[in-house]
Structures are given as structure tokens and as C-alpha cells.
Chains A and B, each alone.
Chain A
């Protein structure tokens, strides 16, 4: 074909051609999913995500549906907080995006925008009643006001101390005949299972957000160090060394002492102190990939720096930090649990670590207070480690060869 000839019609781009070729990430994903450890880990995380998102519908003292004087209302919906609404919105947005065929970074951007919009919207619009009386529904049901009522599977809110049942306190699992507490109650009488379900949000949130912050900082600083090297590299590496010298736990303790206890400060501090590892990984990858022929070819073609960095280098160098991130999520969860266990965590909201703390501070040892939250922490950290391990195996060509 010569130059003068007119270009032929648009090349066929049918689904058949698409299917015959699989991208590198698709292969890695398949490889990861073919491992039992990863499947189990992902299944546990998926269960945890569902539980965290739908927590108010799974464990709540407010009935899901109530029929009173021939009008049906949903007290649960009325008591949803802004956080609940935002979480639900983001969850359904993610679900929707899974079935839409667009580029990954577009999806990410949409999700980020949706998250911000949903939080802002729900913060303005959603206003649950300030004063929550948990026992009102139970009392009215006993008094026969309701035609019928549909309760959540676990009909106790995490902060429902069961005042209507008198002086409640520690109860071992299934001790009381007329109320079922699968995992028992804590010293104030609140249901342990319900508290654990609501605490899963903190565990997941702190893991994802802290690691996300660390990854973003690490990728930016590490990428700049690796690509430009020279003076920037020297300064960057000293910065990394400084941050590696700060013990996260002590910094957290200091911040808690100064600024009080806030989940968000905890997330930020864990994120800000743990980016150095990612920066090192990314720097090494960029240093290696910068010399690769296809990167040189991209430069020789005169592609803009943005494309060279983020299209040609980053996707090829991101593998090791994905592995590191899945271990990082686990360690962030542990850091939060440690703080809460030490009694420096959140005051109001339940968290797994804080429940462990309750287990040891009460006068008697209550096995159910230690076993269930401890088990949850263990399983979650274990799940992330399994996923990390499977990803490392899938991405490491040497390990794959030796397992042949």
C-alpha cells in the first residue's frame, strides 16, 4: 500500500476482537482469583463491606417497617444519619459503575465526584432526630399500638443500652430467654454483635482511607524522585528517612493528646506517616522503567510528560505498591485497634479495638467480649494478607516460574 492511497474505512472494532485479547491487568486479576486464599480473603472483605454499608438495616432498634393506625412508616429511614446515606449512595454508584464499560480512571473520577456530592448533599438534607429514644418502639409494641412491625435481624442499635429491661449489664451469649443476644452484651447492656457490625465501618474506612492517603503521597513523591532523580531525589530520600524515623504510634498519641479523639485525624496521621514505604517502591520502579525502551520510545515520539509519567510508567510500576497496599490496609486496621485498645480511640462510636479494651478492663474476664471482636480483627487482617500474598504471587514472574 502506498502513501497516496486513500485510507480504508474504519477498522472493525467488534466485540470478537476485544475478546481475543486480554490486557495485562485482566490476566493478573484472573491469576489472583484463581487462588483459594485470595477468594476467601475477597469473600470476607465483600461480606464486611455489605455489613458496613447496610449496618442500619441489619442491626437497629428502630423497626424497618411499622404499621400504626393504618399508616405504614419506616422509622429506620427516618433515623438514618448523613453518613449512612452517603455510604449507601457511594455503594450503589460503585455497583452501577461495575457494569458500565469505560476506562478505569474515568470510573475512579466519577466515583470520587459522586462520593463528594453525596456527602455534601446528605450533610445538608438529611437531619435525623437529635434525641433518639431506642426503647419507644419496643414499649409501644408491647402496649399493642402497632398493627404489625418488621424489625431488623438484630433488633438492637449499638448504643441501645436496653433501659426498658431494667438494670442490664454483662450477659453471656444467649443467656437471656426473652431477648436473644447472639454474641452477648457488654457491661452497659448494649448488644455486642450490633456494636461489632457498626464498628466494621471504622475498620474498613480507616484501612482504605489511611492507605489511600499514603499511596497518593507516596506515588507522587516517589514518582518525582524516580523520574527526575538528581537533587530532587536527594531531598526526597532525606524526607523519606525523616518520616521513617517517626514512630506512628507515638505521633498518634501526641495528636490525640492535643486535638482530641477524631476518626479523621487518625486516618490522616496513619496515612501521612506510612507513605514512605510506597515512595521507596515507586521510586525504584520509576528508576528502572525510565530506562525501558518503551518509555524512551514515548519520549522520542514527543509525548507530553503527563502521558509519559502516568500512562507509560505508572501502570507498569504500580504492581508492587498494590501488594504493599493490601498489607498496609491490614496494618492501618491494627494501628486503630491498638489505639482503641489503649483507650485512646473513639469515645462514642464502638470499634473493635475499644471492645477488646472493655473486655480486659472489666473486673471479670468475659470471653465473648474478647473472642468476637478479636476474631473479627484477626479475620480482616488475615484476609488482606491473603489478598496481598495472592497478588504478589500473580505479579511475580519468578515465583510463577518456579511453581510450574
Chain B
């Protein structure tokens, strides 16, 4: 075994408060094996990984018990069994980077922006292989960049990180980790921030490199799709403990522990099956019939919409060019429909959602709400439409004003639109809405920082609903949430939609969610809609090459 973690405990203590972040976990990773640690946020996955490589801040972290036994391969090839918890810092530093390497989640911030890509790889190389000359190290860096499929490595090696895309940066991070040919690679949510197509490439690359070099991989993720693609064995973590541990097929197909079962059941692709197999008529079937009845009327329609952001330069800020965020989009959303807008980051889907609500002004084209042109009307004329069209945001942390109580957040829009005659009446209405999104009514007097992400997202939904809108833009509302919370929010949204007869534009990059929730989907690429139609049709038989590529890249659980 390459790595054996035995009964590891990691305690984090901050000012007299001790958190048992990792509580008695054991696992092992063999040579050439990929081991996945899966769990929801806060379950202790990252702390486990950082304990293995011993990168936790020394003042805070302590290990009351446990062993981390690692087969340390010396430069001459002899292998020594060391316990990472008990060797001195000097030896740990030798092991880190050269024998155990780590890739972090955020590709944008894990490279130093003031050094070229090459400098950073070469520094790591020369540190661990002092006998290498600069020329040799550079040659080796170019080879590793080539291995991670960076185009034109001889030129790209002298680029600064900001000239590379997110996927390329993550590849450089992998190249850096690979350069010293480690025996164990720890990837902490290494692909989470990337688009699915890029993620698919990175995963393929990691598998390839693993086969070639025979290294062990400790892969940390919350995405079961990725797990199904890459793992040999996996462990499910919850509250610092490993609740289930086994081979891929054992855990995914025959989960034993109720927590694993509930996690798998919460996946969007599994949600649908539960709905369809149940005897009672589901929301979807009711909705589908309702949609058919009213589907002739367009609630929102946009024609040839363009949003260009000027690029300005100089003292007087004259325009030198445009970023074409949306470049000629036609879209109509029928009453009662859920239309999903799918695309990768930077394709303009968020801009489109905000432009629809006149939060961003369009450069050209028209937006109609129930046949009325709202593209150029004034702030005052827009007021009645504000009540009808609402938005729910992606990041529940920044979507609520931290200085206002929930009561203030919910009642202020009502007051602005003259809903409810007195403050007490508005409070009673807010109280109602909170119970509709399944929150306790006394939460009204709390501040946003006192809630969890899922609760805040419910409050965000409540705020969108206080004005009783007909059309709601949901901008990636579940992408910052754990799967189990995501499932709850999606179910809530579907039931609210049925109760309140809502029409939704659901913006997301998660194909599983799209297939679960939407009636129609529109695929966006580089500011244009490339394909649009009923969800089942497109996901089964995509016509455009981009849609095919996108759908193929989605990591799925093959069952």
C-alpha cells in the first residue's frame, strides 16, 4: 500500500473552541489506484487531505491519535515507511511536492500572477532535483506542459498566468504537480470550478498520466458523476467520519449506509425516476398538461437581442472595441413553461437573464413582456413590470443585504409596490411566504449571516415571491448548494410553480438539473443560442455539434 491512514483524528481549535473536523477515519490507497473521498461541504474531506500532506496551520490543528503511513521512495529507489505525523518538518518538506503533490480547487488563484508559468514549474523542479541545470529543468517543464496538452508549450512556458484560461491554468497546476513525478497526487475539488467540457479533458488527462506513471490519486469531490468516471474505490464522508467505504460498484449500486442512499437519491438524475415511478400523479405530469393548455401565449419574448460591453481606454475613456456578451438572441417563453438556459461559463447566460429584467441595458433588439415592449421604457414605466418579473441569484451569500433583517428584506419591496396597507399586514404576508418556503416564521427577525446556504437560498426565493410575480429568472440557483439541499430547493421550486402558476427561465450549467426540471432547453454558446427545443428531445438526440460535445462531457453515473 502506498498510503495507509489509520484512525486519524484532526482537531481544529480556535480560541478555546475545538472542532473535531476529522474523527477517526481510516483508508488506504495503493499504487496506481484512484481513491475518491465524497461528501457534502463541511464533511471534513479537505481537512483529511491537508492532514495527509501536513499542510494544516500548526497553531490550530492537532492530531490526538492516528497514523498516516506513507511509502517514502528515496532518490536512490529505496523505500522507507514513514508516518507523516511523526517525522520532522525537514523530511515532510522533502516529501511534499516531490512524493506527494496537491492540486487545489481554485485555478484562478493557485498560480502566482507575477511569475511566468515556466518560472513556477522550474522552481519546483530545481528545488526537488538540485542536480538539474536551468536548461534541463526548462526542457523538462516543456515536456510536462506538453503532457498536459497545453498547445504550443515552448511559447506558452513564458506566458504569465493571466494569459491562460481557467482550464489551462488548472492544467498548468497539474503539470506543476506532475513535474516531480510524485507517487501520490491529491486533487482537492480540482475540477469543480471548471466547465464540463474542460473537466472531461482534465479527468481524461489525469487518468492517462496515472496509467503512464503508476501514481496513486486521492481525489476529493462532491460530484458523484465525476466519482463514477474516475474512482476505483471511494469513501463517503459525513461530519468527519467515513460512513461507507468500498469499490465503486459496491457503493454506487448497492449503497449500505442510509446517508449514502439519501445522497444518491438526491442526485437530479435519480429524482426524476422517483417521480415517475410513484403511483400518485406527480407535479410534472400536472404541469405538463397545464402547459399544453396555455402554451400558445408568449409571456416573454426577445428578438435579436444584443448586449455589447464597450472596452474603454485612455484618459477620456473612448471606446476601442466591444465584448459581445449577447450577440443576436431570439427566445420566447410561453406561459407556464420552465425554459432552461444551458451553457458554459462566459457564454452570456447570466447577462441574458439580467437583461431580460432590465438590470443590464441592451445594445439592440427588443424585449416583450406579454406583448408590451419593455426594452427602452423609463424607470418609472418599468415599475409595474418589476412586480411581475423577479430574479433569484446564484450565490446565497451575496444575495441578501447583510445589514437588514429578513423582515426588512421581505417587506421593503411590498411597501414599494403598495402591497399591504400597514406594516403589520406586510409582516403577516412575509410570515406567510416564509412558511411557504418551509422556514420558521421567527426567522423574520434574524440577519442573513445566521443562516446556512440552503436557508438563504430559500429566503432568496421568498424575496422573489413576495411581489407575486408571474415570471422568475433563476440564475444558477442551486450551483452553490450541496446535492441534498439542491434536491430540496428544486422540489420546492416545482411545488411553488404549481401553486403560483409561475413561468421560469432556469439558467444553469448542470445538465442533470436541466433534465429534471425543465420543459424546454436552450443551449447557449458565445452569446448565441445554438440549439433549442423540448428537453427530452435535445438530451436524447442533440443536433448541433456543440450540444453533442457538451452533453458527452457531462459526467454521468453509468448504471
Contact = CB atoms under 8 A, between A and B. Distances in A.
Interface of A: 1-3, 7-13, 17-18, 20-25, 234, 292-294, 296-305, 307, 311-312, 315-316, 404
B146 interface: no
Contacts of B428: 7-11
B243 interface: no
Interface string B407-419: 0000011001100
Given A296-B359, A297-B391, A301-B467, A21 B447 contact: yes
A-B interface, 9 closest residue pairs, ranked by CB to CB distance from nearest = A302-B386, A301-B413, A293-B393, A293-B399, A21-B446, A7-B428, A11-B431, A315-B403, A294-B401
A111 B61 CA distance: 50
Interface stretch (B175-183, B300-308, B435-443): B435-443
B14 interface: yes
Nearest to A299: B359
A312 B401 contact: yes
A368 to B, nearest CB: 46
B156 to A, nearest CB: 32
Given A8-B428, A17-B445, A301 B416 contact: yes
A10 B402 contact: no
Interface string B390-407: 110111001111111100
Interface in B25-62: 60
Nearest to B428: A7
Nearest to B316: A234
Given A293-B398, A302-B383, 12 more contacts: A1-B436, A7-B425, A11-B442, A12-B442, A13-B427, A21-B446, A25-B403, A296-B354, A300-B386, A300-B391, A302-B382, A311-B404
Given A293-B393, A293-B398, A301 B386 contact: yes
Contact of A7 (B317, B395, B432, B442): B432
Nearest to B393: A293
Contacts of B317: 234
Contact of A21 (B382, B391, B405): B405
A315 B402 CA distance: 9
A303 B404 CA distance: 15
B401 A302 contact: no
Contacts of A316: 401-403
B450 interface: yes
A17 B386 CA distance: 32
Contacts of B390: 300-301
A296 B435 CA distance: 25
A315 B449 CA distance: 16
B357 interface: yes
B424 interface: yes
Contacts of A9: 428
B228 to A, nearest CB: 33
Count class of interface residues, chain B: 35 or more
Nearest to A301: B413
B497 interface: no
Contacts of B398: 292-294
Interface in B468-517: 499-500
B364 interface: no
Nearest to B500: A3
Contacts of A292: 398
Contacts of A20: 445-446
6 contacts: A1-B436, A3-B499, A8-B431, A8-B432, A21-B446, A302-B386
Contacts of B14: 404
A187 B382 CA distance: 73
A297 B386 CA distance: 11
B399 A297 contact: yes
Contact of B463 (A22, A297, A299, A304): A297
B325 to A, nearest CB: 14
Contacts of A315: 403
A294 B400 contact: yes
Contacts of A10: 424, 427-428
A17 B442 contact: yes
A301 B404 CA distance: 15
Contact of A307 (B394, B416, B429, B467): B416
B382 A11 contact: no
B444 interface: yes
A307 B417 CA distance: 13
A24 B387 CA distance: 29
A21 B446 CA distance: 5
A293 B402 contact: no
Contacts of B460: 297
Contacts of B88: none
A11 B359 contact: no
A18 B413 contact: no
Contact of A296 (B387, B391, B445, B467): B391
A302 B417 contact: yes
A265 B445 CA distance: 46
B15 interface: yes
Contacts of B60: 404
Given A17-B442, A294-B399, A404 B412 contact: no
A104 to B, nearest CB: 11
A21 B445 contact: yes
A301 B432 contact: no
Contacts of A404: 14-15, 60
A17 B442 CA distance: 7
Given A10-B428, A12-B442, A301-B412, A293 B395 contact: yes
Contact of B435 (A1, A13, A24, A300): A1
A17 B446 CA distance: 8
Contacts of B436: 1
A294 B413 CA distance: 12
A294 B499 CA distance: 26
Interface in B280-323: 316-317
Nearest to B468: A3
Contacts of B394: 293
Contacts of A297: 391, 393, 399, 460, 463
A305 B393 CA distance: 21
Nearest to A402: B57
Contacts of A234: 316-317
A22 B446 CA distance: 7
Nearest to A26: B447
A238 to B, nearest CB: 9
A294 B444 CA distance: 17
Contacts of B393: 293, 296-297
A302 B435 CA distance: 24
B404 to A, nearest CB: 8
Interface in B117-161: none
Nearest to B412: A303
B429 A304 contact: no
B65 to A, nearest CB: 24
A404 B58 CA distance: 12
A232 to B, nearest CB: 12
B500 A7 contact: no
